[in-house]
Structure 1
């Protein structure tokens, strides 16, 4: 007899088990965007068999792929270290892994650049011990959840163009064993959570003063080109500093009001600065430490002795000057003799620091061993006040990383600066196309003599040295210079697609209108260049001449901002630029005061964005009076979606996402506000533009074929490749 109760129980149990399996398998289905990103990465790394990922599978979370950790249906960790992986990292895909917190691809054989688009919420990023090249991507500035960044033991180059202002959670930074150059960015001082920093074996220059107040426990800056002094505060942590060009003279005293250096933390290694790369705990103890007086204390005593000596010498000479007129007459008939040796203290250098101001004693900042000849018709006081301070001008040498060209070389390559080679003409001079015998093409800017007179050669070399320090993917690179026979020329990299102005306003049979993706990419790249000048460079740079004619486009329509630093270092540059007032780019306050600021740069950038949106010139006298000024005409319409659609460049033929257009207009409205204090800093503009790109999802799939833009260059990448 059939036991129906048992049959029903078996059927129920089987059904329940099948249901559980179905539910679990359904829950484990991985987010398709995460699957696509992993597959793209797999292919770019030459489909490594050692990973054992299923060829036709699409569920890494449900199938437990090697190195992949998930939470629900989202990939949260990718750990693929020490697997002998080869190939490259694709420039796109990582930005879709929004749940990823740990990305570790260290100790492999990967090469090529670090992707610009990185997981937006990543906390631990480890690309160490590979063969990665290029620059550290600026997009790291946007990884606000980052706690641990390790890019060590690669072949990274160029300056460290990262804005650390928003990386307050970063606790460990390792950039060691690369070829990074330039000064440390000023924004490093914002790393309020940093405890460990490894910068050794690079080519960094400048000082490490910006690290002085960071909560560091361990710092390694060995084998760089740092100069200056090691800040006193850093001598109380575990620091390794050998292999640099530190100053051998005592450090200047701190400014008044500086808090005393805290005592060393007993939980950390102490014993001063290691100059050989070894820990200070190796047994070597500084003699100054033995006596209880640190190097700073000794320097203070030395400076105090010098200052007291200067005061004593001054009053001795003061008393000597008060002799009677008969004594002066007697001196007049004798040859001038030096003061007795016991009354003169030789002072080689008294720095006019905040510790002691010699001006309060009506004397100069240094006292010579021999006094000047005495004029019988003047008192000693008159003689002292009649002296003119001697200013010793620092000799500036040309940087080694830019080439020096002769006038003859540049004349040959530019056809003696013929009109046929003329590319453009700007505020500071004309630009010529230079064709060299080896096929290389460069751009030569010939500075007008009215900008830099013939006798300004030393100033010009200093300008070259300053500009040569600017390195950013969206800044036109200085290649060389020429300073001969009173001529001053700058040699830059050449960009085959010319200027943005030409693309927008000068039509020819070789070009097509810029598509919307290209316009957004150009705006974002230019914003990044300005952010670099304003907030990363040290010292910061106001460009002063932002316009579409100074935005050059390469073969892939990537923007490169030209004339960077020129207006900041050329004497009387503002007077020269003020002749251009009325062009439509200058902020209202510039027209009133003639002064340029970071905020006036932001305004000019907003005008360029308006050009990109409307296809119109900033000022066009051929239009109706109410439409001649682009800003005045466009501003009231920026928040009206219907009016906005009518003012879009007709060349776009309606091919743009409406939401993207609206957000683009919102950024413009912020930048071109009449009151400078209401305009955002460029870092906020960059963030707004990045969000615009991320939300728009403007890929080739959006519009189908996306080949508009230029026949002069190759097909441009989609906006998601920026």
Structure 2
């Protein structure tokens, strides 16, 4: 009996070993579903290249099946090296789920399009070199704080670098060489506290390189750019290549008083605390100490630091005393150093910016102008407002300061005849000046920006004046008098897209298909600029066809850009438009605006362009009142899609172009924000649509639609 029990005990042990030994193999073979989905999208985006052996759009186990170039740890993909395989296509739009990926190397291929906004969040090494990527470097790169190596050399990148380096303190190698990058280097490059190799050669960079002097660089190549100024002394002691620039001759000017010695970090990155610049051995000697020069430098530094501390103590004391005085005068609040606040919140777009210093001597005329009440839509606004006396207001010099008297004359005392429209922030009037210039004046409602917030208003004006893009309406001027806040914008003769689509006009004909695509692409580029070029990103919060203005050639210009982002009470003002059919579901539910909610609203505008319908129309049957709800199920059905198209087009559109346009809409109006693509991908999709559509003049028709409103017969040539 005892022997039988012993035998059974060994049989059970053997069975347990077999089970335990077999089970993990089946578990380890499975790959994380999110990684699988991301790799499938990547594979499809690269045209399902046969070079990617074992890759498949139907397989679910890259780790277990040994997909070429894919390395795993457990169930997670940790490395992808598919370099030098002659791959074509692009990188898709969904790399962010690869949260365990540390190395991505796609160099030496023929991959194009934009670098995806959605990148692996924990990558340490990204290599996109020697492809045909174009566009901008995505701002999302700033969020990959673990990144140590970035190589995007030998591509076709354009435009100015955004402030994308502020969080990349671990980056050691940066290679942006052989592209077409322009403009000054962003100040955030000075945050690269670990970088030792930087290659910027063969671009079109401008400006100076002064702030590179404090980086721990060992190798710096800036050849063949348009840099100016002087090469800082510390950079002359490293492996520096600088030919092909416009350097200044003669000795460099001395730094401003109080400036810390440049390049101190440069000399310490491998010295173990030794401050000597000598590259020799660490042995002693009469020359290795601090020396008289070092002592003198320390003494001078102490005096400089002491002077700076004394300056700020005095400044703080005077600020506190002035605040106390303002409290005694019953002022609502005393803003602290509005110049510094403006600088902290300023935006650095890549387009031309007037960088002159602000004029702090803007005076206010305290004598109220004569007011003509005849036909005035706002006749009580100026008469009942108390005069709020401000000592000084800072004003940007790249926009014009208007008086209320000037604007009253130009708008006919803000008469009904000159009323262009009314939005979430106030009414807009047509203003014609004595020199013949016509502008648009937005009178910001007092409920949105009360009269005591004049300093905030000047900060808003300063920020908005920095926004410059061909598809963003330019701020021309402002007025801040008698508690009133007015913004003066450029005027666009063809009005808003909403009016063009939805208001009948016997003198105009409907927009043709090519023009509708052009309007969508231009608006998408404006949003891409706000989201991915401006730093920090700007959420528009109020994307709708009424805020897309059309010029004489029917090019789109996005209005109200930056207003909702900078006005303190903007979200409350926008609540009134939450039920208009343009707002994303998450905004309607929680009131929270994001970049993704802008993308949803843009998708609604595209639906308007496709269908000619309003976002919400109570005159329609209940099932068709919400444009998104009615249209979304039909976007992938070509027969249903053709019935959705604006009847005003009369069938004059390429069917493939229509289908691709609908595909972009479907991506933008997805109910889940995380699945909506970034604007850079929307732009690329629309650019590809234009390039592939081959919109022939046979389907274009004669471009006479809207000729009374200024439509250009050659607008289809400007689509790309």
Give the TM bin, normalised by the shorter chain.
Answer: 0.5 to 0.7
Query: Which residue, out of 106, 130, 136, partners 1:163?
Result: 136
Q: Does 1:524 align with 2:497?
A: no
C-alpha offsets along residues 555-594 of structure 1, whole Å, 9 cap, x if unaligned? Answer: 1111000001110000021121122111001111011110
Query: Which residue, out of 268, 290, 314, partners 2:240?
Result: 268
1:535 matched residue in structure 2: 532
Query: Which residue, out of 215, 219, 222, partners 1:232?
Result: 215
In 2, Cα distance between equivalents of 1:596 and 1:539? 15
TM-fit CA distance, 1:417: 0.9
Query: Which residue, out of 556, 574, 589, partners 2:553?
Result: 556
In 1, Cα distance between equivalents of 2:313 and 2:701? 79
SS of 2:708's partner is: coil
Q: 1:694 to 1:427 in 2, by over 3 A?
A: same
2:289 matched residue in structure 1: none
TM-fit CA distance, 1:708: 2.5
TM-fit CA distance, 1:469: 1.1
2:198 matched residue in structure 1: 216
TM-fit CA distance, 1:233: 3.7
Q: Tell me if structure 2 keeps the 8 A contact 1:185–1:537.
A: yes
SS of 1:552's partner is: strand
TM-fit CA distance, 1:224: 4.0
Q: 1:173 to 1:708 in 2, by over 3 A?
A: closer
1:567 matched residue in structure 2: 564
1:630 matched residue in structure 2: 627
In 2, Cα distance between equivalents of 1:214 and 1:710? 59
Query: Which residue, out of 567, 583, 587, partners 2:584?
Result: 587
Q: 1:299 to 1:675 in 2, by over 3 A?
A: farther
TM-fit CA distance, 1:711: 2.1
SS of 1:651's partner is: helix
Q: 1:511 to 1:236 in 2, by over 3 A?
A: same
2:146 matched residue in structure 1: none
C-alpha offsets along residues 241-300 of structure 1, whole Å, 9 cap, x if unaligned? Answer: 8759x9xxxxxxxxxxxxxx9x99964369xxx9956899xxxxx999899966999999
Query: Which residue, out of 665, 670, 676, partners 2:673?
Result: 676
SS of 1:479's partner is: strand
Q: Tell me if structure 2 keeps the 8 A contact 1:196–1:216.
A: no
Q: Tell me if structure 2 keeps the 8 A contact 1:452–1:570.
A: yes
1:404 matched residue in structure 2: 401
Tell me the TM-score normalised to structure 1 length: 0.56
1:493 matched residue in structure 2: 490
Q: 1:276 to 1:517 in 2, by over 3 A?
A: closer
Q: Look at both structures and tell me which one has the larger radius of gyration over its CA atoms.
A: 1
2:424 matched residue in structure 1: 427
Q: 1:560 to 1:627 in 2, by over 3 A?
A: same
C-alpha offsets along residues 580-628 of structure 1, whole Å, 9 cap, x if unaligned? Answer: 1110011110111101000000000000011111111101111111111
Q: Does 1:645 align with 2:642?
A: yes
TM-fit CA distance, 1:646: 1.1
2:302 matched residue in structure 1: none
TM-fit CA distance, 1:651: 0.8
TM-fit CA distance, 1:517: 0.8
1:654 matched residue in structure 2: 651
In 1, Cα distance between equivalents of 2:523 and 2:717? 17
1:616 matched residue in structure 2: 613
In 2, Cα distance between equivalents of 1:581 and 1:300? 62
In 2, Cα distance between equivalents of 1:581 and 1:174? 38
In 2, Cα distance between equivalents of 1:455 and 1:504? 40
2:433 matched residue in structure 1: 436
Q: Tell me if structure 2 keeps the 8 A contact 1:184–1:205.
A: yes
In 2, Cα distance between equivalents of 1:291 and 1:714? 59
1:186 matched residue in structure 2: 163
Q: 1:443 to 1:683 in 2, by over 3 A?
A: same
Q: Does 1:413 align with 2:410?
A: yes
Q: Tell me if structure 1 keeps the 8 A contact 2:268–2:274.
A: no
In 2, Cα distance between equivalents of 1:513 and 1:645? 17
Q: Tell me if structure 1 keeps the 8 A contact 2:603–2:669.
A: yes
Deviates more, 1:393-402 or 1:659-668: 393-402
In 2, Cα distance between equivalents of 1:291 and 1:233? 6
In 2, Cα distance between equivalents of 1:277 and 1:603? 54
C-alpha offsets along residues 161-217 of structure 1, whole Å, 9 cap, x if unaligned? Answer: x62349964459999xxxx9xx842368999542479999x7888665478759524
SS of 1:232's partner is: coil
Q: 1:300 to 1:450 in 2, by over 3 A?
A: farther
Q: 1:707 to 1:288 in 2, by over 3 A?
A: closer
C-alpha offsets along residues 74-128 of structure 1, whole Å, 9 cap, x if unaligned? Answer: xxxxxxxxxxxxxxxxxxxxxxxxx9xxxxxxxxxxxxxxxxxxxxx999xxxxx
- In structure 1, stretches of 5+ residues that fail to align are 1-98, 100-120, 124-141, 150-161, 247-260, 281-285, 302-345, 352-365, 372-388
C-alpha offsets along residues 331-372 of structure 1, whole Å, 9 cap, x if unaligned? Answer: xxxxxxxxxxxxxxx977789xxxxxxxxxxxxxx989999x
In 2, Cα distance between equivalents of 1:214 and 1:474? 39
In 2, Cα distance between equivalents of 1:554 and 1:650? 24
Query: Which residue, out of 492, 496, 499, partners 1:502?
Result: 499
TM-fit CA distance, 1:229: 7.6
Q: Tell me if structure 1 keeps the 8 A contact 2:502–2:612.
A: yes
Number of residue pairs matched by the alignment: 469
Q: What RMSD, in angstroms, separates the aligned Cα atoms of the two structures?
A: 4.8
Q: 1:716 to 1:145 in 2, by over 3 A?
A: farther
SS of 1:673's partner is: coil
Tell me the TM-score normalised to structure 2 length: 0.56
In 2, Cα distance between equivalents of 1:638 and 1:670? 10
Q: 1:613 to 1:704 in 2, by over 3 A?
A: closer
* Mapping for residues 70-149 of structure 1, pairs under 5 Å: 145=131
Deviates more, 1:520-529 or 1:162-171: 162-171
